[in-house]
Amino acid sequence: MLLVLGTLVQVQASVIDGQFFFDEETAYIGRIYYNCLQQMQEEYSEMYQGSLPEKFCALKANVDGEILDDCLCLSNCDEDLQLVYKHTSRGVEVIGTYMGMAVKQDRIDWQPIYKFGEWISPDDMTIRYNPLWATPIQAQNVFRTCSDHALKDATTRDRMIFKPHVNPIKYNRTWKDMDGTHYEYKLTDPNVIKKMFRGYNDPQITAIVVNHKFLETHKPLQYSRWLAGEPEISLSRKDNSYVWEQINQRYHNRKVVSTKWLASMGEMSVWLVVFQQQANNALASIIVVKEGELESAFDDYAMISPEGDRTEDGRPMHVWMVADYGEYCEPEIMAIMHNTWDNCLEFYIRQSGSECQRYYILRERAPWLIKISECSESINE
């Protein structure tokens, strides 16, 4: 969510069918500045000795006594280094810093910079084929998906993906309830279940249901991943000293609370990094390390409301997801695919909360992982 300041008009930012939609005014501001983002990053880096902006907020406010039609504030993750830009006939100009603005810190909600001006075309091959997430009952050869709206191609979807495995499926049935429209599928050959999901029980699996044409542009890759019950592996400071230097630089020495290995594929590894919560925000990041360097990251920010519900020991009850008690719900990678249409990697991720499952796809656009779609499914008790 963004706030257009000065008029205090609430602005929504959401993902619908893989596209980022802002209200008309904010979208206009975003397109103007996105075209000049490289220039802005270079200026920001030069002024702050290598620190790149991590977040943005579209503003309409008074800055240093000047009334602006539109401006933009870039910030690092701790919000202590900020620059305000204005679009002029001469291009983008720095016009001040946050401290010179006639606005209040608690009236601003920030967005990660990777969302800034990122528009996913409906012609995008991943979005066009709209992968469905399927939970299994292996013993019955049943795989159930849920969608918040009816799908025209539900009955023609004929392939299921889990990790590198791809097998034919057949549509079984449809039903509706208060959570949406449900579709049920079965593997055409039940005998492949043991091989496809060897070593995984039902709660550890969410498969992906697509039409076979999806596989013309997406190649599932072999990788290893952490499973519940296994020893947790942390990102070694001794063996990954340069990666830790990059983490400290990128996140401006924000204290790291924990790290955890999520997956590996050849010289690439994926890690979860959880940072210490601050007074008004929390941060967890999924980072990709390639050949000893931090290649890209997905920064999952959450604002902490001072008026929000608290546990008996004072922890916020709702930060990233409902009833998460201030703890990050750890992500699990269900598939890694090479998108040959866009020549990039895509990570298909499940996040299990106390009341829902959250599914999303991250596309690598170094130095970022871009979230191109997201959905959630309630957990019925």
Q: What is the pLDDT of residue 101?
A: 45
Predicted confidence band of residue 142 (pLDDT cuts 50, 70, 90) = very high
Q: What is the mean pLDDT of residues 174-183?
A: 89
Q: What is the pLDDT of residue 15?
A: 31
Q: Give the pLDDT confidence of 321-345 residue by residue, as tens digits.
A: 888 888 898 899 999 999 999 899 9
Least confident segment among 117-131, 242-256, 322-336:
117-131
The domain limits of the chain are 2-115, 129-216, 241-378
What count of other Cβ atoms lies within 10 Å of the Cβ of residue 63? 21
What count of other Cβ atoms lies within 10 Å of the Cβ of residue 207? 26
Average pLDDT, the chain: 81
Q: What is the pLDDT of residue 3?
A: 25
Q: What is each CA distance from 369 to 33, 144, 266, 299, in whole angstroms?
A: 20, 28, 19, 8
DSSP for residue 216: G
Q: Give the pLDDT confidence of 51-106 residue by residue, as tens digits.
A: 677 777 776 555 555 556 677 778 776 666 677 787 777 778 877 665 444 444 44
209 φ, ψ (degrees, to nearest 5): -105, 125
Q: What is the pLDDT of residue 102?
A: 42
Amino acid residing at 378 = S
Amino acid residing at 89 = S
Q: What is the pLDDT of residue 1?
A: 24
Rounded to whole angstroms, the Cα distance separating 208 from 146 reads: 12
Verify cis geometry, omega within 30 degrees of 0, for the bond prior to 367: yes
Query: Measured in Å, how far apart are the chain's first and last C-alpha atoms?
Result: 30
Best CA proximity match to 66, nearest among 21, 104, 96:
96
Q: What is the pLDDT of residue 223?
A: 98
Indicate the pTM of the whole model. Answer: 0.79
